[in-house]
Structure 1
């Protein structure tokens, strides 16, 4: 990695981010799974020219995988970024804070919730209009938790989800 020297004003210049040859992409992506976490953080510093965020390993791997491909093949076109920004502004009136807030607390459709209870693993799939457990539709996680345990449970609590409304 090239490092620039300090400017005359004494402020450190921006670091140069290395180009990644397309031929190296597959090998680098495959290596992410077995790379020790401190080395992933070092790669983050090299590829983003910032300190890595305090998130879990999986986040680092997925974000690094995207960045490796972005540096090798190019990122989104400026026109695409402008279009996405315009669409975002139509939805939230230009307030970027609102873009980060989901309209509901429900997990994203297609998410699988897995819970082990009394030595048995249970799996629930989030649907657009409810949940699916053992091939049957349910309107709430609480009804699924009741079906599993035979007692009344807060479904968000049973499946280990945090409810922004503070009830779980």
Structure 2
């Protein structure tokens, strides 16, 4: 990338773009309503999409490899692919980020719940309580509910 790379400048600008403007970009780039996830999620997905549109997406061989890996996991059973045990729960491996009093906290979604600081938790609310010392709705604390309380 050169010093005058418009893509690099656009990516750098995401950090200082107001959230409503990020949501407008989401609508333009994805042609869907933005998800009610936290700002970091919007920034990272927008950054990926901007680069994907500018430089191209995954190579066909990469897509085939990912499909093959998926088939190894589910045995090629298309019914298993459509099952989501909790439609509102982020997919396994998702990292949730939250700054609290100047400290960044990273929670990973696991098969059985969540992991924070190397410890398993059954709920996000338990993690939010451990972080803040007060009762919180974990979904709200980690930005997984929109302003109307829906996930």
TM-score normalised per structure 2: 0.54
Counterpart of 1:158 in structure 2 is: 130
User: What is the 5 A alignment of 1:1-168?
Assistant: 23-93=5-75, 94=77, 95-96=80-81, 97=83, 100-101=91-92, 102-107=110-115, 113=116, 125-126=117-118, 158-159=130-131
Q: Which runs of 4+ in 1 moved over 6 A?
A: none
What is the distance in 1 between the residues matched to 2:71 and 2:84? 10
Q: Give the helix-richer structure, 1 or 2.
A: 2
> Is there any run of 5+ residues in structure 1 with no aligned partner, and where?
1-21, 108-112, 114-124, 132-139, 142-154, 163-168
Quote how far apart the aligned CAs of 1:98 are.
Answer: 6.1
Equivalent pairs counted in the alignment come to 100
> Is there any run of 5+ residues in structure 2 with no aligned partner, and where?
86-90, 93-109, 133-137, 139-151
Q: What per-residue deviation string (whole Å, max 9, x for no partner) do you get for residues 35-94 of structure 1?
A: 111111111111111111121211111110111111111111122112111211211233
What is the distance in 2 between the residues matched to 1:38 and 1:159? 28
> Per chain length, whose mean CA-contact separation is higher, i.e. which structure has more relative contact order (CA < 8 Å, sep 6+)?
2
Q: Larger Rg: 1 or 2?
A: 1
What is the distance in 1 between the residues matched to 2:31 and 2:111? 33
TM-score normalised per structure 1: 0.49
Which secondary structure state, in structure 2, belongs to the residue aligned with residue 33 of structure 1? helix
What is the distance in 1 between the residues matched to 2:24 and 2:84? 32
